[in-house]
Each structure stands twice: as C-alpha cells, then as structure tokens.
Amino acid sequence: MLHDLPLSGVVVVELSDSAAAPFAGRVLAALGAEVWKIERPSGDSARGWGPSKWKGSGAAYHALNRGKNTISIDIKDRDQLVILHQLIARHADVFIHNLRPGSCGQYGLDGDSLRVTKPELVYCEVGAFGHVGPLNTLPGYDPLMQAFSGIMSITGEEGQAPARAGVSIVDFGTGMWAVIGILAALYRRRVKHCGASVNCSLLETAIAWMTVGIANYNVDGEPGGRHGSGVAFIAPHRAYATSDGYLIVSAANDPLFARLCAALDHPEWSADDRFATNSGRLKNRSELDRLIGERLNDEPRAVWQERLQAAGIPVAPIQTTAEIVTHQQSHALGIIETPPDDEVGMVGLPLSFDGKRPPPLHAARDIGTDNDALEHLLNLRRVTS
C-alpha cells in the first residue's frame, strides 16, 4: 500500500455482507485505508453467488472484497464479540456495517453504544429502507428498491414488463454514498475533533436516482413513462438500429440536432416545425424516431459512428461486456487491473490522483485468513474461526 494515498493511516472495520457495504469498504481500501472485513464463520453471502466462481468463491465476492484483511468472527459468540469490540475501540477510525435492521443494539454495535467509549469514531450504518419510518426494520435488496422507488416504472420499453437495471445501481450507489458520508465525517473530525454517526440506505439512494423524475412529477403531475434506451425529456437521445448493431445517438440541443440532420443527409428535418425545437421533437418523437431509424438502418454501425463523430455528434455503440473489456480505451485508461497476487482482471477505482490511478489491491482472501494477524494486533491468545 502506498503511503501517499489519501486515506493512508485510516483504519476501517467493516462488518458486512452482500454488496453495498462491501463496495464501500473496497473503495476505502483503494483510497489507502487499512480495512478489516469481518465475516461470519460461514462467510459472506457473495461467496456463494454464481455462476462465475474463482478460487471457490463467487466472482462478485472477489470484485467487492479486494484489498481487505479478512477475519472470521461469530458475533453471537460472546467471547468473539468482545474481540470485535476491542478491535473497534483500540484501532478503528471508522466502523461500517449492514447488520439486519434493529439487530446491532443487541450486540452493543449501535452508534450510541460505540461512541460512548470512543466519541471520535466515525460510525456508518448501511440500511435497507432507512433508519427511521414505518418500514425501517424491513430487510431489502437492490431490485426491491428499484421497484419501490419508482425506478422500474420508468425503465424498459412501454407496454412491456417492468425492467431492472442490468447492474446493481442501488447497491453500488449506496456504497458510494456511504463513502461520501464517511469522508465528510472524517474531515469534520479533523476540524472539530469529534466523530459522527452516518446513515445511508438502499431506498434513499434509489430515491436520489429519481431526482429529475420526481422534480418533473412535482412540476406537472405526470409520473413519467418508459422510453427504452431513451429519456423522457430529450429527443433524439436513444438507441437506433443500424444494419449490423445498435448505436446511441444524442442530440441534446437544437444546434446538435441540426448537425445530426446534415450528417444524415436530411438538413430539412431541422427546419421542419415539428422538429425545430426539443419541445416539438418530444411531441413528435415517434415520427422523428422512425425517420432517423430508417436512415441509420442503411449503413453499418461503424460507418455511422465514424461519420457522426466527425460531425461532432455524441454517439456510442451498444457494446457487450467482452467488447468493453477488450476496447483500446479501457486499456488506455488502465481501469481493468490484475492484482499482483492473482490472474483475474478486476475493475479498479474510477479515480486518478495527479494523473495516477491508485494501484491494484491484493486479491480477496479466504474466510479467516487474517485471524492470526488480528491475534497479534490485539495480543490475544486465540481468535476462534
């Protein structure tokens, strides 16, 4: 670990499972923090996720838990719970968890209890429906929150079944909000010499992703609909079929639309009263999409991509995972990394400092790998795994 990373010297204890809180811990580790991940003896649920497995655990576990010291503690065992409390009290700057709602108090792992003995602790709870309200004790997962928040009501094609985003945007977004809250609390601690309790949740993250949709609804009372690859408030701004694949085309203002029309050999479209402004294009979206779609279907994707890019039109092909992994831009960025002690490429931190990305983290470890290291740290005789 490089000593000049932003969080070098910060110790994080992460009692977590699944995705949101582990993603937060992985980000903190990539920023230089020393992260101690606590797993129950049977291991994090993500170890069993499939179908892709690596060294006996799900690929998702490896993606979310690199760069961490991994110890096994059964918090239901009184002696082992004491060890966790000692680790937090003696060494932790940050404690992050996603325990079942309402259960942390019975283990003395709630913010009020921990910050009595360690007021400078930054305590972060990653919840499901939030820390207050009638649903605050319910468990929750990413697709539940995409449904509950309204995200799924505006995702997919009109007239089709509701669709979930293909990646766990709520889980990863919640992990990001946890990191933002922790960093803010660490900054305040440095200035005011006090800790903080940070709360974030899957539902609050999902509602935050509905920021524009909720604003639109509060203005005009319209709940919004599904626009497939497009959006409700800009046209054209969606995927069109070329002769051999799909291309996202975005003309988000009137000058861009005029350039698009010229590049498509139909400059007259931009002068048509139906299409001259974005409001007109939205009212006549179906006809506009038909015209653009018919024209783009005349040539292959690569031809249109080159031609539209030359005209300054924002475009992007809809690529597969294989295509983005092997694309020269991904390689130039160096964002897909291979840890020095592993052979599988994983996505690195999407940040650079002074032009350099934080170095690859070591591979995720087996359950309880660092129990001996914890024994040494706390001068214990034994940590039962």
Task: List active site positions.
Answer: 171
Amino acid at 161: A
| Phi-psi group of 369: left, alpha or beta (phi > 0 → left; psi -120 to 50 → alpha; rest → beta) | alpha
Q: Which residues are CB-neighbours of 94 under 8 A, at least 6 positions away?
A: 10, 11, 12, 13, 28, 33, 121, 122, 123, 124, 182, 186
- Alpha-carbon distance of 11 to 382, in angstroms, equals 22
What φ, ψ does residue 337 adopt, rounded to 5°? -110, 160
47's tokens: 């170890």
- Alpha-carbon distance of 222 to 89, in angstroms, equals 51
171's tokens: 């889980």
SS3 content of the chain, % helix, strand, coil (to 5): 40, 15, 45
Strands 196-201 and 246-250: unpaired
Q: What angle do CA 371, 120, 369 make, to 5 degrees?
A: 10
Within 13 Å and on the Cβ side, how many CA atoms surround 267? 2
330's tokens: 């991904």
